[in-house]
Copies of this chain bind each other. A is one copy, B any other.
C-alpha cells in the first residue's frame, strides 16, 4: 500500500470495508473514483452519509424507511389484515416487483440459525407478534426455502397458531421456466406434494 499516495491508500483501505471488495477490487474502484467527475463523487459520498444517518426501521413492518412508517404501511391502498413475513428487505422488494401482493409485510431481518448463534430473539419476531392484535386475518410466511428459512417458518407458525390467526406458507415447487432435469430432488418432491388439480 505504501506505493500509493496517502490519500489513495486511505481510500483503498476504506473501500475494503465493503462486502465482496478485496484489495484488487478496492484498487480498481479507487482508480475509478479518482477519474470520476468531482460532483458525482461528492453526490455518492453524501448519499452514503445521508442514508446511514437518516434511514431507520418502519415502526410497524421493520423495513427501511425515511420516516416513522414506510410508504407501504402508511398507504391506504394496502390491506393491513394480511401480513407477509420475509427475511430481508430485498425479499420484500422482490415481492413488490411482482405487483401482485396487496397486503403489508413484516421484515424479520434474518432467519433462525442456531449454527451461527441466531435465535428467535435475534430477529424481529417479537415485533411481529405485537402486530397480531386482532386486526389481522392471515400471516403468509415467505421466508427462504432453505433450512434456516424453513425452521423459522415452523417456529413462527407454531407461535401464531396459539393466537388463533391463520398462517400460510408460500408454495414450494418447480420454478417457472425451470427444466426438470436440473432441479434438485427435494424441490421435485415438494412440487409433487403440492400438486393441484387442473
- The verdict on A33 contacting chain B, using a C-beta distance below 8 Å, is yes
Alpha-carbon distance A4/B94, docked complex (angstroms): 11
- The verdict on A10 contacting chain B, using a C-beta distance below 8 Å, is yes
Please tell me if the beta carbons of A64 and B5 are within 8 angstroms of each other in the complex. Answer: yes
- Given A3-B96, A5-B64, A32 contacting B44 (CB threshold 8 A): no
Alpha-carbon distance A34/B88, docked complex (angstroms): 14
Q: What bracket does the count of chain A residues touching chain B fall in?
A: 35 or more
Q: List 27 A-B contacts (CB under 8 A).
A: A3-B92, A3-B93, A4-B64, A4-B93, A5-B55, A5-B70, A7-B47, A7-B50, A7-B55, A8-B55, A17-B36, A18-B29, A18-B32, A18-B33, A19-B32, A20-B28, A27-B93, A30-B51, A31-B89, A31-B90, A34-B51, A34-B55, A34-B64, A44-B45, A45-B45, A45-B46, A45-B49
